[in-house]
Structure 1
C-alpha cells in the first residue's frame, strides 16, 4: 500500500468515526426518535462527509443495536422496548460491579485523581438546573470514565454498548422519573469509592445503582 493510499484509508476511517460518534449521540439521546428512518444522504450532508463513512458508521451502529436495516426499505433507529430492560439489567448488574471493583483495585494515581475531580465537579453542579441532554451526558461521562478505569477494553466495549441502550430507556422516561437527581448523585459516592481504592464499597454502589435504575423505571410503566 502506498503512502497516499494509506493516508486516504486513515482519513476515511476518521470520517467514519466522526459519523459514528455523531449518530450514536443522537440515537442515544433520542434526538433521532425510535423507529425513525435514517437518510444517509441527509446525514452525510449535515456532517460534511461522504456517504461511505456514514454507511460504515451505520454498520457499526447496527452491531450496537441502535439501528436496524431492512432490505429495500432502508435503515431505521431501533425501537425502545421496555421489555428489553430486564435483559439489559441482567447483564449490567453483573458487569457494572465488576468494572467498579477493577477500577478501584487497578487504576493508577492519575486515574484516581481524575475520578475524584469528576466527583467534585458533579457535586458542585446544580443537577436540577441541568437540561435533559446535559444531564444524560453527565451520566454517560461518569459511566464511561469508570469503564475506562477498569482497564479491560473488552469489558469497556460491552458495558458502553449496554449502558447506551439503558440510557435510551432513561431518556424515554426521564420526564416521569422522580428523584432523578438522586440517581445521578449516586455517581459521586461511586467515583469517590473507586478513587479511594474501596473496591467492595464501589462494587456495592454499582450494583445498587443498576438495580435502583431498573426499579425506578418499572415504578412508572
Structure 2
C-alpha cells in the first residue's frame, strides 16, 4: 500500500480505529480498492495489522462518508464512482473551498504556515516526468487537508475533507485521460503563498478558480 496522505493528528498517538479508518479511507479515495469491489473485513484487518473491531468501526464511518455501501444479504462494497455526482460535489466545493482558503489565511498559526510552506517547497520540486500520477494525487490531498486544518473550524474541515475525497475518486478514475495532472497540483503554489501571506481575498479567488478548473478538466476528459 502507498503511504497515505499526511494530515493533522499524524504526529499524535492514534487509536486503532482511527488508524484503520485513515488507511482504508485513502485506499478507497485513491482507488486502490476499486469502485464496486467487495470489502473483506478479515483481509483488511490482516493487511493493517489490527483486529476486526477497529475495522468495523472504520467501515461505519466510511459508509456515512459515501465511500462504501452495504446491501442486505450481499455484503459491503466500495461505492461506484458516479460521474453524475460531479456537479453536486462541485456545487458544494465552489462555495466552501474559497471560504476555507480565506479562513485559513486569517487563522493559520505558525505551525500551519510551516506545514504549508513545506508543502510549497515540495510542489516546487515536482517533476511531471519523474512523479507518478498517484504520487501527485497524494500531494494534492496533503495540500487540501493542510488548508482545511488551518481554518480551525472542525465542521468546515470535516465537510471539505469528505467532499474532496469524493472529488479525488473521480479524478483518479479519469487520471489516464488527463493531460496535465502536475499542472493541476502545482496550482496550489500561489494559493499556499496567499494563505501564508495572510491574504484572504486572493486565497479565496485562487481556491474558487482551482475548483472550477478541476470540473472543466474532468468534463473535457469524459
Report the TM-score, using the length of structure 2 for normalisation. 0.91
Residue 19 (structure 1) aligns with: 20
The CA deviation string for residues 14-42 of structure 1, in whole angstroms up to 9 with x for no partner, is 22112111111110110111010011111
Residue 71 (structure 1) aligns with: 72
CA distance in 2, matches of 1:75, 1:119: 39
State how 1:126-205 maps to structure 2 within 5 Å. Answer: 126-205=127-206
The CA deviation string for residues 147-204 of structure 1, in whole angstroms up to 9 with x for no partner, is 0011101100000000000000010111111122211111001000100111111000
The CA deviation string for residues 72-107 of structure 1, in whole angstroms up to 9 with x for no partner, is 111000000000000000000000000000011121
Q: CA offset at residue 125 of structure 1?
A: 2.3
Gaps in structure 2 of 5+ consecutive residues: 1-13
Aligned alpha-carbon RMSD (Å): 1.2
Contact 2:105 2:195 in 1 (8 A): yes
The aligned length equals 209
CA distance in 2, matches of 1:187, 1:131: 18
Residue 46 (structure 1) aligns with: 47
CA distance in 2, matches of 1:20, 1:109: 28
CA distance in 1, matches of 2:90, 2:71: 28
Change (3 A) 1:72 1:145: same
CA distance in 2, matches of 1:191, 1:136: 17
The CA deviation string for residues 36-74 of structure 1, in whole angstroms up to 9 with x for no partner, is 001111111222222111111110000110000111111
Gaps in structure 1 of 5+ consecutive residues: 1-12
Contact 1:104 1:199 in 2 (8 A): yes
Residue 214 (structure 1) aligns with: 215
Larger Rg, first or second structure (1 or 2): 1
Q: CA offset at residue 120 of structure 1?
A: 1.9
Report the TM-score, using the length of structure 1 for normalisation. 0.91
